[in-house]
Amino acid sequence: MPKPKDEQKLAAIHLQTMRLVNTTGFAALKMADVAQAAGIATGTLYVYYKSKEALINAVYLNTKLEIIDVLLDNAHANPDYFLTFKNMWTAYMQYCMQYPEKMLFVEQFIYSGLIAEEVIAQTEAKLIPLNQFLTYGQQKGLIKRMDIELIKAQMQGAITETIKFLTKQQQTLTAVQLNDCFAMTWDALRR
Protein backbone atom coordinates (compact mmCIF):
# COMPACT_ATOMS: atom_id res chain seq x y z
CA MET A 1 0.00 0.00 0.00
CA PRO A 2 1.23 3.46 -0.84
CA LYS A 3 1.74 6.49 1.22
CA PRO A 4 -1.64 8.23 1.48
CA LYS A 5 -2.32 11.78 0.47
CA ASP A 6 -1.91 14.17 3.32
CA GLU A 7 -5.14 15.84 4.44
CA GLN A 8 -3.23 18.59 6.17
CA LYS A 9 -1.31 19.42 3.00
CA LEU A 10 -4.59 19.58 1.11
CA ALA A 11 -6.01 21.95 3.68
CA ALA A 12 -2.88 24.08 3.54
CA ILE A 13 -3.08 24.24 -0.26
CA HIS A 14 -6.68 25.41 -0.13
CA LEU A 15 -6.04 27.96 2.57
CA GLN A 16 -2.97 29.45 0.92
CA THR A 17 -4.62 29.56 -2.49
CA MET A 18 -7.45 31.64 -1.06
CA ARG A 19 -5.10 33.77 0.95
CA LEU A 20 -2.89 34.55 -2.03
CA VAL A 21 -5.80 35.28 -4.34
CA ASN A 22 -7.34 37.65 -1.84
CA THR A 23 -4.18 39.49 -0.90
CA THR A 24 -2.39 39.77 -4.21
CA GLY A 25 -5.18 39.12 -6.70
CA PHE A 26 -5.72 36.27 -9.06
CA ALA A 27 -3.43 37.64 -11.75
CA ALA A 28 -0.51 37.15 -9.39
CA LEU A 29 -1.37 33.60 -8.33
CA LYS A 30 1.58 31.36 -9.19
CA MET A 31 1.70 27.65 -8.58
CA ALA A 32 5.18 27.99 -7.11
CA ASP A 33 3.89 30.58 -4.65
CA VAL A 34 1.02 28.38 -3.56
CA ALA A 35 3.40 25.48 -3.03
CA GLN A 36 5.86 27.55 -1.04
CA ALA A 37 3.13 29.10 1.11
CA ALA A 38 1.70 25.63 1.77
CA GLY A 39 5.16 24.35 2.68
CA ILE A 40 5.49 21.80 -0.11
CA ALA A 41 7.45 21.47 -3.34
CA THR A 42 5.98 22.71 -6.62
CA GLY A 43 5.86 19.22 -8.00
CA THR A 44 3.88 18.00 -5.02
CA LEU A 45 1.13 20.43 -5.85
CA TYR A 46 0.64 18.44 -9.04
CA VAL A 47 0.13 15.26 -7.04
CA TYR A 48 -2.97 16.89 -5.61
CA TYR A 49 -4.16 18.86 -8.64
CA LYS A 50 -3.30 18.18 -12.22
CA SER A 51 -3.35 21.86 -13.21
CA LYS A 52 -3.82 25.36 -11.97
CA GLU A 53 -7.32 25.35 -13.34
CA ALA A 54 -8.17 22.17 -11.47
CA LEU A 55 -6.81 23.71 -8.28
CA ILE A 56 -8.95 26.82 -8.63
CA ASN A 57 -12.05 24.78 -9.41
CA ALA A 58 -11.52 22.51 -6.41
CA VAL A 59 -11.02 25.38 -4.00
CA TYR A 60 -14.04 27.12 -5.47
CA LEU A 61 -16.33 24.10 -5.18
CA ASN A 62 -15.16 23.27 -1.69
CA THR A 63 -15.62 26.76 -0.39
CA LYS A 64 -18.92 27.42 -2.10
CA LEU A 65 -20.42 24.19 -0.77
CA GLU A 66 -19.28 25.06 2.73
CA ILE A 67 -20.88 28.49 2.49
CA ILE A 68 -24.16 27.03 1.24
CA ASP A 69 -24.14 24.58 4.15
CA VAL A 70 -23.88 27.43 6.62
CA LEU A 71 -26.79 29.14 4.95
CA LEU A 72 -29.06 26.11 4.88
CA ASP A 73 -28.06 24.58 8.21
CA ASN A 74 -29.77 27.50 9.85
CA ALA A 75 -33.02 27.11 7.94
CA HIS A 76 -34.58 25.30 10.90
CA ALA A 77 -38.29 24.62 10.56
CA ASN A 78 -39.17 27.31 13.08
CA PRO A 79 -42.89 28.12 13.05
CA ASP A 80 -42.07 31.82 13.06
CA TYR A 81 -41.02 32.65 9.51
CA PHE A 82 -39.50 35.99 10.44
CA LEU A 83 -37.36 34.46 13.18
CA THR A 84 -36.18 31.68 10.92
CA PHE A 85 -35.25 34.21 8.27
CA LYS A 86 -33.45 36.38 10.76
CA ASN A 87 -31.51 33.44 12.19
CA MET A 88 -30.48 32.31 8.73
CA TRP A 89 -29.41 35.73 7.60
CA THR A 90 -27.54 36.49 10.81
CA ALA A 91 -25.68 33.20 10.93
CA TYR A 92 -24.71 33.63 7.29
CA MET A 93 -23.53 37.20 7.79
CA GLN A 94 -21.52 36.27 10.86
CA TYR A 95 -19.87 33.42 9.01
CA CYS A 96 -18.98 35.81 6.19
CA MET A 97 -17.41 38.23 8.64
CA GLN A 98 -15.46 35.44 10.27
CA TYR A 99 -14.15 34.05 6.99
CA PRO A 100 -14.26 36.94 4.53
CA GLU A 101 -11.52 35.33 2.47
CA LYS A 102 -13.86 32.47 1.60
CA MET A 103 -16.74 34.70 0.56
CA LEU A 104 -14.48 37.04 -1.43
CA PHE A 105 -12.69 34.17 -3.14
CA VAL A 106 -15.95 32.68 -4.31
CA GLU A 107 -17.27 36.05 -5.48
CA GLN A 108 -14.11 36.74 -7.41
CA PHE A 109 -14.40 33.55 -9.40
CA ILE A 110 -18.07 33.16 -10.25
CA TYR A 111 -17.69 35.41 -13.27
CA SER A 112 -14.04 34.83 -13.97
CA GLY A 113 -14.64 32.39 -16.80
CA LEU A 114 -12.36 29.91 -15.03
CA ILE A 115 -14.94 27.89 -13.17
CA ALA A 116 -16.34 24.93 -15.11
CA GLU A 117 -20.01 25.17 -15.99
CA GLU A 118 -20.60 21.83 -14.28
CA VAL A 119 -19.18 23.12 -11.01
CA ILE A 120 -21.42 26.18 -11.13
CA ALA A 121 -24.44 23.98 -11.83
CA GLN A 122 -23.62 21.71 -8.91
CA THR A 123 -23.58 24.59 -6.44
CA GLU A 124 -26.76 26.12 -7.81
CA ALA A 125 -28.62 22.85 -7.43
CA LYS A 126 -27.73 22.81 -3.78
CA LEU A 127 -29.36 26.19 -3.34
CA ILE A 128 -32.85 25.01 -4.29
CA PRO A 129 -34.05 24.80 -0.66
CA LEU A 130 -33.36 28.51 -0.30
CA ASN A 131 -35.62 29.23 -3.26
CA GLN A 132 -38.31 27.07 -1.68
CA PHE A 133 -37.98 28.90 1.61
CA LEU A 134 -38.44 32.26 -0.10
CA THR A 135 -41.37 31.03 -2.18
CA TYR A 136 -43.03 29.79 0.99
CA GLY A 137 -42.64 33.25 2.49
CA GLN A 138 -44.34 34.73 -0.54
CA GLN A 139 -47.22 32.29 -0.23
CA LYS A 140 -47.69 33.31 3.39
CA GLY A 141 -47.81 36.94 2.24
CA LEU A 142 -44.67 37.90 4.15
CA ILE A 143 -42.28 38.47 1.27
CA LYS A 144 -42.76 40.71 -1.77
CA ARG A 145 -44.17 38.81 -4.74
CA MET A 146 -41.48 39.26 -7.33
CA ASP A 147 -38.94 37.16 -9.20
CA ILE A 148 -37.07 35.04 -6.63
CA GLU A 149 -33.80 35.66 -8.44
CA LEU A 150 -34.19 39.43 -8.03
CA ILE A 151 -34.87 38.95 -4.34
CA LYS A 152 -31.79 36.78 -3.95
CA ALA A 153 -29.70 39.30 -5.84
CA GLN A 154 -30.83 42.02 -3.45
CA MET A 155 -29.94 39.95 -0.40
CA GLN A 156 -26.68 38.45 -1.61
CA GLY A 157 -25.50 41.67 -3.25
CA ALA A 158 -25.92 43.65 -0.07
CA ILE A 159 -24.02 41.08 1.95
CA THR A 160 -21.19 40.75 -0.55
CA GLU A 161 -20.71 44.48 -0.90
CA THR A 162 -20.82 44.96 2.86
CA ILE A 163 -18.19 42.30 3.41
CA LYS A 164 -15.98 43.86 0.75
CA PHE A 165 -16.25 47.18 2.52
CA LEU A 166 -15.54 45.71 5.94
CA THR A 167 -12.53 43.85 4.64
CA LYS A 168 -11.08 46.95 3.06
CA GLN A 169 -11.56 48.81 6.32
CA GLN A 170 -10.31 45.83 8.34
CA GLN A 171 -13.28 45.95 10.66
CA THR A 172 -16.40 43.97 11.47
CA LEU A 173 -19.92 45.08 12.27
CA THR A 174 -20.93 46.01 15.80
CA ALA A 175 -24.01 44.26 17.15
CA VAL A 176 -26.00 47.41 16.41
CA GLN A 177 -24.73 47.63 12.85
CA LEU A 178 -25.47 43.96 12.29
CA ASN A 179 -29.06 44.65 13.31
CA ASP A 180 -29.16 47.73 11.09
CA CYS A 181 -28.04 45.71 8.10
CA PHE A 182 -30.58 43.04 8.79
CA ALA A 183 -33.29 45.69 9.09
CA MET A 184 -32.41 47.00 5.64
CA THR A 185 -32.56 43.57 4.08
CA TRP A 186 -35.80 42.61 5.80
CA ASP A 187 -37.47 45.90 4.91
CA ALA A 188 -36.38 45.38 1.32
CA LEU A 189 -38.02 41.97 1.13
CA ARG A 190 -41.10 42.22 3.39
CA ARG A 191 -44.48 43.04 1.89
Partner DNA sequence: ATAGTAAATGAATAATTATTCGACTTACAT
Partner DNA sequence: ATGTAAGTCGAATAATTATTCATTTACTAT
Which of DNA, its own copies, none has residue 42 at its interface (CB below 5 to 8 Å by kind)? DNA
Phi and psi at residue 165, in whole multiples of 5°? -65, -50
d(CA 160, CA 164): 6
Residues 6+ apart with CB under 8 A from 15: 38
Collapsing DSSP to helix, strand or coil, 147 comes out as coil
Residue 156 and residue 148: Cα distance in Å, rounded? 12
Taking CB under 8 A as the binding criterion, the range among 4-12, 58-66, 86-94, 164-172 that sits at the site for its own copies is 164-172
The gap from C-alpha 175 to its chain's centroid, in whole angstroms, comes to: 22
Region near DNA per CB under 7 A, out of 5-13, 81-89, 99-107, 159-167 = 5-13
Q: Is 26 in the site for DNA (CB under 7 A)?
A: no
Read off φ and ψ for residue 75, nearest 5 degrees.
-85, 55
List, in sequence order, the alpha helices (H) in 41-147.
42-48, 52-73, 81-98, 100-110, 117-125, 128-139
* Burial readout 132-146 (b: 16 or more C-beta within 10 A, e: otherwise): ebbeebbeeebbeee
Question: Among residues 11, 24, 47, 98, which is the contact residue for its own copies, using CB under 8 A?
Answer: 24
Out of 12, 22, 52, 152, which residue is the one contacting DNA (CB under 7 A)?
52
x/- letters, 96..115, toward its own copies (CB under 8 A)? --------x---x-xxxxx-
Residue 156 in contact with its own copies, rule: CB under 8 A: yes
Residue 26 binds its own copies, judged by CB under 8 A: yes
Residues in contact with its own copies by the rule CB under 8 A: 23-28, 104, 108, 110-114, 144, 146-147, 149-151, 153-154, 156-162, 164-165, 168, 177, 180-181, 183-185, 187-190
Query: Contact positions toward DNA, by CB under 7 A?
Result: 1-6, 9, 28-32, 39-44, 46-48, 50-53
